[in-house]
Structure 1
Amino acid sequence: MIKGNCHCGAISFELDDQPEWLTQCNCSICRRLGTVWAHAPVDKVTLNADSGASIAYSWGDKELAFHSCKTCGSTTHWVSREPKEGAVMAVNTCLVEPAQLAKIRVRQFDGADSWRYLD
């Protein structure tokens, strides 16, 4: 299990599975946010936050909503704005204690151009 939280603690998450890898994407939003994502089925992630604790940001095709804490500004996760059965979401592992991630490989994803992993 992987556990993380925003800087102020208003939003926390738990990921039931250990991902095979983490994803560092170079698309315009991920690069600016400085995120490293762990992707998982929605039903494998537990978000703990009061209603209205996050603010959602969508752009472009508005398919994803990137959530950040309203108090401290930490980007915690993204979700599909129109989730389908088997939907995937991602949590920002930059908000996780490094020891929990030490054995998980980080893969570079070219979200800016080719839409492929670079390894």
Structure 2
Amino acid sequence: MANEGEGVTGSCHCGAVRIKVPNPPEWVASCNCSLCTKLAWLVAYYPDDAVTVSGETVPYIWGDRMIGIHHCPICGCGTHWKTLGEDFGRMGVHARLLDGFDPAKVEVRLFDGR
């Protein structure tokens, strides 16, 4: 993956939203909830303060209203999720947006979100 020594960067399709994480994910979650299934998200988890998201995002809030699932308002790519209340000590980043990410090279853990 690109830039492993200085963190890993990525972006949405149009480049308006940029993401930087400290390191490549060792594993990602593949959730089977109705939203993640439709959007093909593979989520990498990081501490909130370890992720930099620059550019405007819009949260989509649904279900139990525990998290805001952010996307780029220009191209529509889902970028990350953050908690809306209780601090989970982490946030999720859409790993497919990270430069050089190859899902064949990381462990994919299935998460039953239904």
Asked whether the two chains share a fold, i.e. TM above 0.5, the reply is: yes
Post-superposition offset of 1:94: 1.3
Q: CA RMSD in A?
A: 1.8
Q: Pick one of 38, 59, 66 that aligns with 1:56.
A: 59
Percent identity among equivalent residues?
38
Q: TM-score, normalization: structure 2?
A: 0.84
Which ranges of structure 1 fall in alignment gaps of 5 or more residues? 113-119
| Aligned residue identity for 1:90 | G
Give the structure 2 partner of residue 31 of structure 1: 37
Q: Distance in 1 between matches of 2:103 and 2:64?
A: 32
Tell me the alpha carbon deviations over residues 33-69 of structure 1, each in whole angstroms, 9 at most, x when there is no partner.
11100011101111111xxx21110111110000010
More strand by percentage: 1
- Contact (CA 8 Å) 1:80, 1:87: kept in 2 or not? no
The one-letter code of the counterpart of 1:45 is V
Letter in 2 for 1:32: K
Which residue number corresponds to residue 109 of structure 2?
107
Query: Which one is further off, 9-18 or 59-68?
Result: 9-18
- Give 1:18 deviation, angstroms: 3.5
Tell me the residue number matched to 1:74. Answer: 77
Letter paired with 2:47 = P
